[in-house]
Structure 1
Amino acid sequence: MNGYEHSDPFDEGMLPVSSIHRLHYEQYGNPDGKPVVYLHGGPGGHTQKSNTAYFNPDIYRVVLFDQRGTGKSQPAPEIRENTTPNLVADIEALRVHLNIPKWHLVYGGSWGSTLALLYAQAYPDVVVSLLVLGIFTTRKLEMDWFRGPIGATTIFPEAFETFVNHLPPEERGDLTGNYYKRLTSDDHATRVAAAREWNRWDLSIGSLTTNEETFRPLDDEAWSVPHAVLEAHYGMNDFWLEDGQILKEENLAKIRHIPATIIQGRYDMVCPPRTAWELHKGLPKSRLIWIPGAGHTPQEPGTRMKLLEACDYHASQDFGM
């Protein structure tokens, strides 16, 4: 199943959310349908029309938007006034702007799952259901898995060595900090070169298999630079969250009433699968779907099929609205 075909957006616009930032948003599908907000990954990713493929246009009112400093949102890239609490507040500002009483579904993958969970914890009364995949809760143990000494770096040593070797030996003790210096340099060539290597590591471990097409985004400066800059910016600031904040008992208690679908690639090298398991155990109304033979990207066939099935399932449910 390839997914659903959508017509052009029935609405799009720019929403001012700070003295600096304006968010680009688009709406697809049925204007009177069940509202779903799609939260993209990153930090530093962006949305595109193909993201609508998971949602039946006869049933869903699909809201896409680019987070601060990325995609068509302005300005990009921009790290000022760009924090996790800002992004969570932006989702609520968009809901209010669009006159949506409640989100029937909040959908987020990877960094998008972080925002989906944080948003639901902050505004539990306006989230009817959740669908999250490739679960990321920003814990130190997850970051150590992703870019530290105990996880993916031991499984992809040659790719990690390429990532490390972009820096001179004396700077390799603080990879994120010294990449960040280059990514925020006044020199354009320095920023672009650092972004390519930063993102090359991400792409190297994102799926079970790679080919030339996997790395094609590295040639797209409009994607590569914002993605790297924002990802490093958030990492440098510990995502503005306490370690383990999302999975704390008191925070999970706020969303235990919300039906949730959790989808996780069994061999995810970006976000360790144990986090999905811990989230599932903390949410009694959740169902966890493991995808055997899949990594992190939602484009892997097994993951894509289950995402389509899950979105159809959520479309068929009223969840007591």
Structure 2
Amino acid sequence: MSLYSAIEPRSSGFLEVSKLHKIYYEECGIKDGIPVIFLHGGPGGGFGERDRRYFDPEAYRIVLFDQRGAGKSTPAFCLEENDTWNLVADIEKLREHLGIEKWIVFGGSWGATLALVYAEKHIDRVLAMVLRGICTLRKEELRWFYQEGASYLFPDRWEEYVEPIPEEERGDIMTAYYKRFTGDNVEERLRCAKAWSKWEMSISQLRINPDTLSLCADDSFSLSLARIECHYFINEGFFDSPNYVLDNANIIHESRIPVTIIQGRYDVCCPAKTAWELYKKLPNAEFYLIEDAGHSAKEEGITKKLVEACDKYKTLVKA
């Protein structure tokens, strides 16, 4: 099953979620379809045209939005008033603004983290969940990707990633990058943002994709992704306990809502261990480990399974 054909938004706009922030959103598909919200990754990644295409536009009312500081939302790259709990509140404000009672929640990578936290906070508003490339922003996950672990598999790309950071600061690379992302040196900030983004984009797929890597050439994309990601990661997701997401997964399990978990076997950004631990907390969920895939939703096996999951829910789930 491939993606659905490209579609244009049926409506779009900006929603003021605070005196500082306005979030950009789109609606696609049919107005009276099953509501589904797409939560993009990063944080800071924004959504793209491809993200509309996992869903049958004849069956779904598709909602997509750029989280605070990302994509078309304003102000760009802003870290002020930008944390997990504000994003959860934004999702609820958008739901109320659009007059939706309940919706399917679809998210990958950081989008899966946000989807889980939203569901744990507002389970009565969730019809079903489709989750891909699971992460929960625990220290062990962040250390694997940004300090020691993935570096053993990609020493050539790791060398480029750490190059902007002096050797004496490499004992805590995230902190060193955050200092530069929030500093006054604009040129250094951009240089570091591109190095951070290139590291992530270059190892997100089982086989490197030049189109994915080319995203790093865009200054806005790199600044948004790197600054906002690092802001969230330094603060460990703004959670009040180190295992917050998994510790509260029982709320989802007890609700009996349908959940599909899709994970690449060779995901080095968000290793399969976390997805497996989530599955143990949600034993009634459908769990698919894609053998020939890494982290990206653009990989064929993952794309196919995401579309299949959404096709199944359009007949099983009623708003």
Give the TM-score band, short-chain normalised. Answer: over 0.9
Question: What residue is the counterpart of 1:277 in the other structure?
Answer: 276
Cα RMSD after superposing both structures: 1.2
Q: Is this contact kept in 1: 2:202–2:209, CA < 8 A?
A: no
- What is the CA distance between 1:50 and its match in structure 2? 1.5
Matched residues in 2 for 1:169 and 1:38: separation? 40
Matched residues in 2 for 1:222 and 1:7: separation? 25
- Map Cα deviations across residues 218-256 of structure 1 (whole Å, 9 max, x no partner): 1111211111000111111111012111111xx122111
Matched residues in 2 for 1:224 and 1:44: separation? 9
Question: What residue is the counterpart of 2:190 in the other structure?
Answer: 192
Confirm whether residue 236 of structure 1 aligns to residue 234 of structure 2.
Answer: yes
Identity %: 47
For 2:106, what is the secondary structure of its paired residue? strand
Confirm whether residue 56 of structure 1 aligns to residue 53 of structure 2.
Answer: no
Question: What residue is the counterpart of 2:249 in the other structure?
Answer: 252
For 2:26, what is the secondary structure of its paired residue? strand
Question: What residue is the counterpart of 1:300 in the other structure?
Answer: 299
Whichever residue aligns with residue 110 of structure 1, its letter is: S
For 1:172, what is the secondary structure of its paired residue? helix
- What is the CA distance between 1:153 and its match in structure 2? 1.4
Q: Is this contact kept in 2: 1:6–1:29, CA < 8 A?
A: no
Q: Which moved more, 1:1-10 or 1:283-292?
A: 1-10
Whichever residue aligns with residue 78 of structure 1, its letter is: C
- Map Cα deviations across residues 23-68 of structure 1 (whole Å, 9 max, x no partner): 1000000110000000000011101222011000000000000000
Question: What residue is the counterpart of 2:44 in the other structure?
Answer: 44
Question: What residue is the counterpart of 2:312 in the other structure?
Answer: 313
1:87-126, aligned counterparts within 5 Å? 87-103=87-103, 105-126=104-125
Q: Is this contact kept in 1: 2:147–2:172, CA < 8 A?
A: no
Q: Is this contact kept in 2: 1:6–1:57, CA < 8 A?
A: no
TM-score (norm 2): 0.96
Matched residues in 1 for 2:278 and 2:172: separation? 30
- What is the CA distance between 1:114 and its match in structure 2? 0.3
Q: Is this contact kept in 1: 2:68–2:82, CA < 8 A?
A: yes
Confirm whether residue 12 of structure 1 aligns to residue 9 of structure 2.
Answer: no
- What is the CA distance between 1:144 and its match in structure 2? 2.1
- What is the CA distance between 1:187 and its match in structure 2? 2.6
Question: What residue is the counterpart of 1:72 in the other structure?
Answer: 72
- What is the CA distance between 1:5 and its match in structure 2? 2.1
Q: Is this contact kept in 1: 2:262–2:290, CA < 8 A?
A: yes
Q: Is this contact kept in 1: 2:263–2:272, CA < 8 A?
A: yes
Matched residues in 1 for 2:63 and 2:297: separation? 19
Matched residues in 1 for 2:88 and 2:294: separation? 27
1:95-244, aligned counterparts within 5 Å? 95-103=95-103, 105-149=104-148, 151-241=149-239, 242-244=241-243
- Map Cα deviations across residues 103-157 of structure 1 (whole Å, 9 max, x no partner): 1x100000000000000000000101000000011111211221232x2111112
Matched residues in 1 for 2:193 and 2:203: separation? 16
Whichever residue aligns with residue 199 of structure 1, its letter is: S
Q: Which runs of 5+ in 2 are unaligned?
A: none
- Map Cα deviations across residues 174-202 of structure 1 (whole Å, 9 max, x no partner): 21111112122223211110011111111
Question: What residue is the counterpart of 1:83 in the other structure?
Answer: 83
Q: Which runs of 5+ in 1 are unaligned?
A: none
For 1:20, what is the secondary structure of its paired residue? coil
Q: How many residues align?
A: 316
For 1:177, what is the secondary structure of its paired residue? helix
Q: Is this contact kept in 2: 1:6–1:28, CA < 8 A?
A: no
For 1:264, what is the secondary structure of its paired residue? strand
- What is the CA distance between 1:17 and its match in structure 2? 0.7
- What is the CA distance between 1:318 and its match in structure 2? 2.3
TM-score (norm 1): 0.95
Cα gap change, 1:6 to 1:209, in 2 (>3 Å): closer
Higher relative contact order (CA 8 A, sep 6+): 2
For 1:280, what is the secondary structure of its paired residue? helix
Cα gap change, 1:300 to 1:31, in 2 (>3 Å): same
For 1:271, what is the secondary structure of its paired residue? coil
Matched residues in 2 for 1:207 and 1:318: separation? 31
- What is the CA distance between 1:211 and its match in structure 2? 4.6
